[in-house]
Every structure is written in structure tokens, then in C-alpha cells.
Amino acid sequence: MTRITVLGGTGYAGAAIAQEAAARGHEVTAVARRATEQQAEGPRYVSGDATDGTFLKELAQQTDVLILALAPRGDMEGKVLEVAQTLIPIALETGIRVGVIGGAGSLKVAEDGPRLVDTDGFPEEFKPEAFELISVWEKLQGSDDSLDWFYVSPAAGFGAYNPGERKGNYRLGGDVLLNDEDGNSDLSAEDLAIAVVDEIEKPRHRRTRFAVAY
């Protein structure tokens, strides 16, 4: 059993990760800014401000793996990077592993192609979120070598607007966007959660990013 804390534990990705981890018998703490009545069976729900360093340290002292699944949009725009900057030294001090649910924007569209965020078709309204998550990835890359972290880039079509359903399978990639045979890049929250908990249970990626899609 692993003690897992999910920041953004009631969000689209975070809730699925918390529920998948709890279903596999892990001790899960799902963290949200405000208490919610929509609580799944299994995770322990905690409300608090992830930008508060004292709160983050308290969480880190009670966990083995901390997943940052916050989305930098709305009133959280600009704050996810702040959370990551605060979390990194805390994780180094406490020795926990950190996982970040990033975006697809930093993935290249082909081995020798541009990043997805730099293509003409990338929606302008999603660019601030994409660039902030890229900055989080860069902060992780620049961290001390003793920090154990992984960064996940889901499919381009990943999101609550395109929920899909649990298939129980996924593909892993590196720095290039994963598409299926029809050119689509999709993934449900449930299957992202399977990939993340698989990585927690059997680590394959240390201090690196990996892509997940069907």
C-alpha cells in the first residue's frame, strides 16, 4: 500500500486518479480548495489551499507520492506554477515522489515537428494553460537530481469536454503526440488514472515525461 495525495482530487483528472488508487487498496487523500458533497467511496477528502506552503508540507509529511493534478485555468491561472515552485523544495526535504498531470501542448506533433502549442490549430484560449504547465515541467527538469518526479502528458483530446469511457488500456510515448490509426488523440480520465497508478505501483519513469493516449 502506498500513501498517495492528489492535489486537485475532485477535478476531472484528479478525481479519477484518486478513485483508481483507492480501488487498488492504496491510502488516498484527495485535496480540493473547498469541501465537496460529491465524494467517492475510498479516498479521504481534505480541503485546503495548495498555494499555502505550510499546508503543502503537512500533506507531504503524510504521503509517499504526491500528484499535482491542478488545472491552471480560472482563478488558478498562474497559481499552479506557484504550487510547483513551493512543492519542489518540500518534496526534496521530505523525500516524496512527485507526479504532475501536464498537458499535450509541449508534445511535438512529429519527431522533427513543432510543439503542439506552436501549431496554427492550437486554440488561443488554451495557450496560457499550456505554457504554464510547460513552465512546471521546466522547473522539474531544473530541480536537484535527488528529486524523484514524473510528468504526464495526456492525449490532445483529453478533457471533460471529451470524456470517453474506461477501456482499460492505453499506450505510452515520449515527447511526440500519440495518435490512433484515424489520426485522433484521445484518452478518458479513467484510463489516464490507470496509467498514473500503474506508474506509481511499478515506476518506469524517473525524472522524465511520458505521454499517454489510446
- The string of pLDDT tens digits covering residues 113-150 is 999 999 999 999 999 999 999 999 999 999 999 999 99
CATH number at residue 203: 3.40.50.720
Residue-level pLDDT at 35: 66
Give residue 209's domain range: 3-213
Instruction: Tell me the C-alpha distance between 105 and 89, whole Å.
Output: 26
- Average pLDDT over the chain, rounded to an integer: 96
pTM of the model: 0.95
Instruction: Tell me the C-alpha distance between 116 and 33, whole Å.
Output: 31
Instruction: Tell me the C-alpha distance between 140 and 152, whole Å.
Output: 12
C-alpha cell recorded at residue 143: 530541480
Provide DSSP, 46-101.
Answer: EE--TT-HHHHHHHHTT-SEEEE-----GGGTTHHHHHHHHHHHHHHHHT-EEEEE
How many domains, in total, are found in the chain? Answer: 1
